[in-house]
A = this chain, B = another copy of it.
């Protein structure tokens, strides 16, 4: 029970790290097996295909994300607008830590996979889209609170939340291309300037 779970989760952790640091196509099952010291057959006992593995990796990362990074950054004890700064900081330190260890900024696993796989795998696209939708909901909830508290003038919180998520992903994309986490720190705070008015 513990051994079986261990094998599966070892595969999952390895795959997550490798997909994140490289790409889906560039990482082979054989390599994942070697690095997690598992045989091919064992791999296929737990995951019917490479696609299923990727789907599991996305779920796994989304779970950790929701319970760690996002839960802290969107801490409801903080004033709504400060949460955005916290989130930017969290993203920065995360990427910086990874860059310091690996030498390269891995960026956002979801963004990476989304651009690589959206045109090739509808199931994966839909799953990544759902992850983004949940992230947007976090932003929207924060914006709704800010508006209710009078910290922000009334706006289209749904559209603005989506805009903020897009901006965050864009910043990480650019930072990864520059291989420089500082970009997140420089551009991040401007996320609070984004605004989409209510249409009527």
Interface residues of A (CB under 8 A from B): 21-23, 25-26, 102, 104-107, 111-112, 114-116, 118-120, 125, 128-129, 132, 159-160, 162-163, 165-171, 173-174, 176-179, 183, 186-187, 189-190, 193-196
Kindly state the separation between the CA atoms of A115 and B113 in the bound complex, as whole angstroms.
9
- Collect the chain B residues with CB atoms within 8 Å of residue A169's CB: 169-170, 173-174
Q: How many copies does the complex hold?
A: 2
Of the candidates B25, B159, B177, which one forms a contact with A118 in the assembled complex, judged by CB atoms under 8 Å apart?
B177
Q: A23-B25, A162-B187, A194-B193 are in contact. Are A119 and B132 (CB under 8 A)?
A: no
B116 and A115 contact, CB distance less than 8 A: yes
Not counting A125-B179, A165-B174, a sample of 18 additional A-B residue pairs whose C-beta atoms are within 8 angstroms of each other reads A22-B120, A25-B26, A104-B119, A105-B119, A111-B173, A115-B115, A116-B116, A118-B176, A119-B176, A132-B178, A159-B187, A163-B190, A166-B187, A167-B194, A169-B173, A170-B171, A189-B196, A193-B194
Kindly state the separation between the CA atoms of A71 and B191 in the bound complex, as whole angstroms.
28
Q: A21-B119, A169-B170 are in contact. Are A159 and B186 (CB under 8 A)?
A: yes
Which residue of B is nearest A106, CB measured? B119
Question: Which among A22, A115, A174, A179 has the highest number of chain B CB atoms within 10 Å?
Answer: A115
Which residue of B is nearest A196, CB measured? B190
Min CB distance A137 to B, Å, is 14
Question: Which among A106, A174, A196 has the highest number of chain B CB atoms within 10 Å?
Answer: A174
Min CB distance A65 to B, Å, is 16
- Collect the chain B residues with CB atoms within 8 Å of residue A25's CB: 23, 25-26
Kindly state the separation between the CA atoms of A40 and B105 in the bound complex, as whole angstroms.
35
